[in-house]
Amino acid sequence: MKLFLLFIVFFLIGLAIVLSNHYWNSQILPSGFSIPSVTTKFSLKNAPSESLRGTIASMSGDVNWLSRTDAKSTQLKTKQTVQQGEEVSTGNNGKAVINIKNTAVLAIQPNSHISIIQLLPQNFVFVQDKGTVDYGNAVKYPTTVRSFDLVSLIIHGSVRISVDSTNQTVTVHVEEGAVKEGYEDLQNNSNVVSVNPGQTFIFDETNKVGSIQ
């Protein structure tokens, strides 16, 4: 009997709370007023409006493109606009040149793969986990490339980055311009190395060491 009375008491308390909330809402909100739904400009299909767009200016052989919304890449037959959040890869005989607003050019060689992480004017960011890509850019749009645990900051100039996914090595050859390499060694020490024109930087992912050749 005692449990039953406790149940009745708590039931009445809960009912009173619900009715009081309903009463106060009806007093505070004017008649016909509705709470607006929350809206957002985020789009899974389209990159942020402030980011730039690129164009696959030329291509040959097998060139594949992965959009922001697809789970599987498709083979390109015609020129394609690319944007932040997409990926481009090439087959054994594939090559592609991406032009980003005439300020940066990426020449993707066969058996290569890149992810377009960011195309904001302040900094372009790519992840290259396979193959060879030639990067060329102007001073106004610095380019950052992540390969394994190595970060290459191409301030300006022309640079070729080759990623050997089998041997876990990254080779960065600076043809012209200025490049800085950053990585952490096995002792968690941060290392920053400046690579000058004509020099080649080789990074060993397994041992977390880099050297200029």
Q: Which domains does the chain have, with CATH numbers?
A: 54-212 (2.60.120.1440)
As given in the structure block, the two tokens for residue 4 are 């039953």
In sequence order, the β-bridge partners of residue 126 are 116, 145
Q: Specify the pLDDT at position 17.
A: 52
DSSP, residue by residue, 11-57: HHHHHHHHHHHHHHHHHHSPTT--PPPP-----SSS--TTS--EEEE
pLDDT in tens, the chain (213 residues): 544 444 444 444 554 554 445 544 455 445 554 545 544 454 556 778 889 999 999 999 999 999 988 889 999 999 999 999 999 999 999 999 999 987 899 999 999 999 999 999 889 999 999 999 999 987 777 899 999 999 999 988 999 999 999 999 999 999 999 899 999 999 999 999 999 999 999 999 999 999 999
Residue 114 to residue 122: CA distance in whole angstroms: 20
pTM above 0.85, yes or no: no
Using a 10 angstrom Cβ sphere, with 0-12 exposed, 13-18 middle and 19 or more buried, the burial of residue 173 is: buried
| Residue type (1 letter), 187 | Q
Residue 82 to residue 89: CA distance in whole angstroms: 12
Q: Specify the pLDDT at position 39.
A: 46
As given in the structure block, the two tokens for residue 181 are 């390499």
